[in-house]
Amino acid sequence: MCEEKQWNSTQLRRYDLELEQIPRLYYTDPKIDELISLNKPVVITGSNIIKTAKANWTPEYLEQNIGNAGHTVMLSKTHKFKYFDESKVLNKNNPHGIEFTPPTRKTKMKIGEFMRKLREWKPGNDRLYLQQPLNNTIGDLLVRDFINFDWEYINNKQSKHNWGPLTSNLILISQEGNVTPCHYDEQQNFFGQAYGYKRCILFPPSDFECLYPHPVYHPHDRQSMVDFDKPDYTRFPRFKFAKGYETVVEPGDVLYIPIYWWHHIESLMRGGPTISVNFWYKVGPTSLEYPLKDHQKVSITRNVEKMLLEVLQDPKEVGPLLRSMVLGRYT
């Protein structure tokens, strides 16, 4: 029987994109391993991976049990929470950084204040997004829930697909309507949805040329320069060729976001707060087998950019040097 859908399409933000559906497969389906081994996204349904989070992690439960430490909360004047690397911003102890106006502010907030601000939120107020690594600051009941995730299933996937070590789990408590704009991470990601609904739009690493990542030295390294709400087709003409995949994850779903895949993730509008827990894995030992995979080529472009910036010093010299090297010779 098909369950009553708990959301409708008016809760999704509208973008000028063609989007296919990401497959949703029951957790015992062997096709899941086929897709993961091909570095392709899949929604794993019906599993016990984050069963205890699906069962327990409501906003009220977290308010009672996440712990009384100050948790990391991002604040934004808009619905977008575009990540930036603080270590790349010019400041007194970072003379090599660049001039940059951060679009968000990081603060520490106790859960009670965070939830109160969420309840009292009015248009014009800063939006809030709690993004806290699961560490020794969290309360005992959450530790118990975390320990009772289906680690046998998770660890089996990690070893079968030669992922590296689990580096961190973030608990994400988002205000309705918040957006994490399009970016890629250099880690494999099991993205677990515990409460509420999130729309996830993914693009393959081969869409690199359509999504225009900021230069590697920029604080928004790994983030797309394209504003999905108002794409600038003059600066970013190939954005119209981006071929995306989407899904709306529901409580209990785990979305596999393959390493180097672009993803834009939004909490449904008028859907209330959402709660997710992700699992980031370093890449495992990789041998260069030919033909190289698309994500390996992205990794190579990053190394070339870093090396050229190291030796040229001035970012404005990178373009001319690459152009003189490539135009008429490799094109």
Q: Taking the complex as a whole, how short is the minimal distance between the CB of residue 234 and ligand QVW, in angstroms?
A: 28
Q: Taking the complex as a whole, how short is the minimal distance between the CB of residue 168 and Zn ion, in angstroms?
A: 12
Binding site for Zn ion (CB under 5 A): 185
Q: What DSSP string describes 77-141?
A: SSSB-----GGGB-BTTBTTSB----SEEEEEE-HHHHHHHHHH--BTBPEEEEEEE-STTS-HH
Nearer to ligand QVW, 53 or 172 (CB): 172
CA separation for the pair 250, 195 (Å, rounded): 7
CA separation for the pair 254, 32 (Å, rounded): 12
Report the residue number whose CB is nearest to Zn ion: 185
Tokens 């209330």 — which residue? 272
Nearer to Zn ion, 67 or 212 (CB): 212
Report the residue number whose CB is nearest to ligand QVW: 180
Binding site for ligand QVW (CB under 6 A): 131, 170, 172, 180, 185, 189, 191, 263, 265, 276, 278
Nearer to ligand QVW, 254 or 318 (CB): 254
Q: Taking the complex as a whole, how short is the minimal distance between the CB of residue 247 and ligand QVW, in angstroms?
A: 13
Enumerate residues 6+ apart whose C-beta is below 8 A from 90: 96, 97, 98, 99, 100
Q: Taking the complex as a whole, how short is the minimal distance between the CB of residue 264 and Zn ion, in angstroms?
A: 9
Nearer to ligand QVW, 53 or 318 (CB): 53
Residue 11 binding partner per list Zn ion, ligand QVW, none, with a CB distance cut-off of 5 to 8 Å that depends on partner kind: none
Residue 265 binding partner per list ligand QVW, Zn ion, none, with a CB distance cut-off of 5 to 8 Å that depends on partner kind: ligand QVW
CA separation for the pair 302, 284 (Å, rounded): 18
CA separation for the pair 224, 215 (Å, rounded): 10
Q: Taking the complex as a whole, how short is the minimal distance between the CB of residue 74 and ligand QVW, in angstroms?
A: 8
Phi-psi region of 61 (alpha: psi -120 to 50; beta: other; left: phi over 0): alpha
Residue 191 binding partner per list Zn ion, ligand QVW, none, with a CB distance cut-off of 5 to 8 Å that depends on partner kind: ligand QVW
Q: What Å distances lie between residue 270 and 7, 56, 79, CA to CA?
A: 9, 22, 13
